[in-house]
Amino acid sequence: MPDADSLIGTISEVHGPVVMVSCERLPPLHRALCAYVKQERYLFEVHQHLDQNHLRAVTLNYTSGLRRGMPVYDTGGPLRVPVGSDCLGRLLDIFGAPLDGGAPLAVEEWRPIQSRPPPLADSTTLDGVLATGVKVMDLLCPFVRGGKTGLFGGAGVGKTVLVMEFMHAVAALHSGVSVFAGVGERIREGHELWHEMQAAGVMPQTLMIFGQMDESPGVRFRVGLSALTYAEYLRDTLGKEILFIMDNVFRFIQAGSEISSLLGRMPATVGYQPTLATEVAELEDRILSTRTGAITSVQAVYVPADDMTDPAVSAILGHLDTTVILSRSQAAKGIYPAVDPLASSSKLMDRHILGERHYAIAAGVREHLARYQELEDIIAMLGLEELSETDRRIVLRARKLQRYLTQPFYVAAQHSGIPGVAVSLEDTLDDCDAFLTGRYDELSEDRCYMRGSMKSGKP
């Protein structure tokens, strides 16, 4: 129990997850407050000052047991989490408490989840391509090492599976570590993901932080910052390649919208909170690389009604270096990963960064796939035979390329029965060059589907 000096007031009202506190002095915004119910500590976060003696705070626990007149204490700072070198391989909640049934973390220090980004003098610029071993990504929308990548798609198009494969790639190819922030995950999804990570052998190099769907919106709103605090600790102490994954950023925005409504703020565009852009920037601006290590971020973003013009999607897009669009039509054709190669883009798609050969081959692949897309309606109505010889050749090569850019994943091997493969960028470029120049014109399309490099000889 805290001492009497930290007592700041009492609870005057409880409205769902929002608590109104009467106090003599107002603590600053985002300060963590606490109350005690039968020796159990309940945490709140200050979100609104109503007048000189009243504030509204959002609970970070369940509200059962809270009542009017209950004393409220000031913790002296924002929410802090325990960090330590034994955090890898663990499954934790927003407070750093174990969810995996293991022992509590050995605390080396307590870090506030809200802090300023490193000074610009200490940060480093984006540093080339981060290879993932996924053909379509490395070729057409390469990851920026130390940058931010967004996976955009509706429900059921494969965002989480792709995220898991990236975690496997960082561990296997770069000997790096992953920090996974499960924002608003269903309990079933989180449980399955945890066991799949263990089965794939990735968990020893992974830290998972969950704020689940049935928890307070305050938890879902802050779990991303809590996970980012652990990523910053690992970057500063290990100096390794850190992959920071958020699944799903849209649920973070939804939690902010819930809090905004509960606090009585007037909604803005399409019902979103008026502070949408600020909240997204507060999170995204801390994802930085320093001289000690790099944080590369991959963020799964649910696209409501598959509408890329949604204000939440637009707010996130402005912070990203690579945009990967997952298409429902690609998934319906059995093209996995269901990446739309024409809609996806990367800031690294520049001949001066990628080199002349990579840029030329990527442009050639895009041209073939774009021409095939233009001719699809004509083919459906009149048939392939009505096309000119040049267009027919482009279409046949584009269909082979489309199937070649599929790939079996390590993390999906137990479900698909196909062993996972990682393909080096050099092999991908060689294979695509061979497709574009006609060296595989005699090959059937099914021999290009769901395989690794064409050099492997395995169908």
| DSSP assignment string, 289-322 | -BSS-EEEEEEEEE-GGG-TT-HHHHHHHTT-SE
112-159: pLDDT as tens digits:
999 888 888 788 776 678 889 999 999 999 988 888 999 998 888 888
**C-alpha 46: how far from chain center:** 27
Which residue matches tokens 């990851």? Answer: 143
Among residues 111, 159, 251, 451, the one annotated as catalytic is 159
Among residues 186, 291, 357, 458, the one annotated as catalytic is 186
pTM (two decimals): 0.90
| Element of type H or E holding 209 | strand 206-212
As a whole number of angstroms, the distance between CA 315 and CA 93 comes to 27
What is the predicted pLDDT for the residue at 457? 60
**333 a catalytic residue:** no
As a whole number of angstroms, the distance between CA 445 and CA 404 comes to 9
Are 323 and 152 within 8 A, CB to CB?
Answer: yes
8-state DSSP, 326:
B
- Given a cut of 80, is residue 456 above it in pLDDT? no
For the residues 26-46, what does the mean pLDDT come to?
93
Helix (H, G, I), strand (E, B) or coil at 37: strand
Beta-bridge partners for 429: none
Residues 6+ apart with CB under 8 A from 116: none
Are 235 and 219 within 8 A, CB to CB?
Answer: no
**Dihedral (Cα; 439, 416, 249, 301), 10-degree rounding:** 40
For the residues 150-172, what does the mean pLDDT come to?
86
77-93: pLDDT as tens digits:
999 999 988 899 999 99
**220 a catalytic residue:** no
The tokens of 399 are what?
Answer: 């269909």
53-74: pLDDT as tens digits:
999 999 998 888 899 999 999 9
Among residues 90, 145, 165, 185, the one annotated as catalytic is 185
**367 a catalytic residue:** no
